[in-house]
Each structure stands twice: as structure tokens, then as C-alpha cells.
């Protein structure tokens, strides 16, 4: 089992969709929300994912395919 800290940023059209619930259900990933800000037109969630490495990878790929931006929780690591 591994843990991964990530930030999801949701576009307006996905605000109403239970993406995080489905991530947990479909990929056997435990989701643990630490910080979030969601309003009518956009939202972000900082959370920890725990599970098998492959399940987390597949889960993140699925979340991205739905149109959610996934970033490391520390922000961009690549600097100038």
C-alpha cells in the first residue's frame, strides 16, 4: 500500500459529479480530504490517496480523463 498527496481542480461542469466517491468505489482507493474550496463555478480539493500503486495510477488517470486537473499538492515542482 502506498499514499499519494494530490490536488484536484474541478472545472465548472464537473462540480456536481461525485468524482471522488467514484474514484474510491471503482479503483479501491481510500480518499482522505484535508482541505477544499468548492463554489458554484469551480473547486479544488487537497486529498491523500491510499491504495495499491497501480490502483492509484489507474484512478488518477481516470480522474484526469474526466477533465479534472491533477497536481502534486506542493504545486509545480519543475521550476525555472
Partner 1 sequence: MSYATALRCRKCGREYPLEPLNLCDFCFSPLEISYDYKRMAKAVSQEKISGGPPNMWRYKDLLPVDGDVVDIGTGFTPLVKADNLGRELVLDHLYIKNDCLNPTYSFKDRVVSVAITKAREFGFDIVACASTGNLAASVAAHAAKANMKSYVFIPSDVERGKLVGIAIYNPVLVMVEGSYDDVNRLCSQLAQRYNWGFININLRPYYAEGSKTLGYEVAEQLGWCAPDCVVAPAGSGLLFTRIWKSLDELSMLGLIGPVNTHMYLTQAAGCSPIVNAFQSGALHVHPVKPNTIAKSIAIGNPADGYYALRVARQCGGGACAITDEELVEGMKLLAETEGIFAEAAGGVVIAGLKKLVASGVIKRNELTVAFITGAGLKTQEAVAEVVHPFVIKPTLESFEEVAGNQA
Note the residues at the interface with partner 1 (CB under 8 A): 2, 4-5, 7, 9, 34-35, 37, 42, 44, 46, 48, 69-80
Output 28 or 42, the one with its CB closest to partner 1: 42
Output 22 or 71, the one with its CB closest to partner 1: 71
**Least distance from C-beta 48 to partner 1, angstroms?**
8
Greatest pairwise CA separation for the chain in angstroms: 39
**Least distance from C-beta 60 to partner 1, angstroms?**
8
Output 25 or 67, the one with its CB closest to partner 1: 67
- Strand, helix or coil for residue 35: strand
**Least distance from C-beta 24 to partner 1, angstroms?**
18
Secondary structure of 39-70 in the HEC alphabet?
A: CCCCEEEEEEEEECHHHHHHHHHHHHHCCCEE
List b or e across 16-30, with b for residues whose CB sees 16 or more CB atoms inside 10 angstroms. Answer: eeebbeebbeebebe
Amino acid at each position: 500500500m502506498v499514499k499519494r498527496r494530490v490536488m484536484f481542480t474541478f472545472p465548472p461542469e464537473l462540480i456536481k459529479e461525485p468524482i471522488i466517491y467514484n474514484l474510491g468505489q471503482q479503483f479501491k482507493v481510500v480518499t482522505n480530504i484535508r482541505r477544499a474550496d468548492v463554489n458554484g463555478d469551480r473547486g479544488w480539493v487537497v486529498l491523500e490517496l491510499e491504495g495499491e500503486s497501480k490502483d492509484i495510477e489507474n484512478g488518477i488517470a481516470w480522474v484526469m480523463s474526466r477533465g479534472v486537473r491533477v497536481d502534486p499538492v506542493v504545486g509545480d515542482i519543475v521550476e525555472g
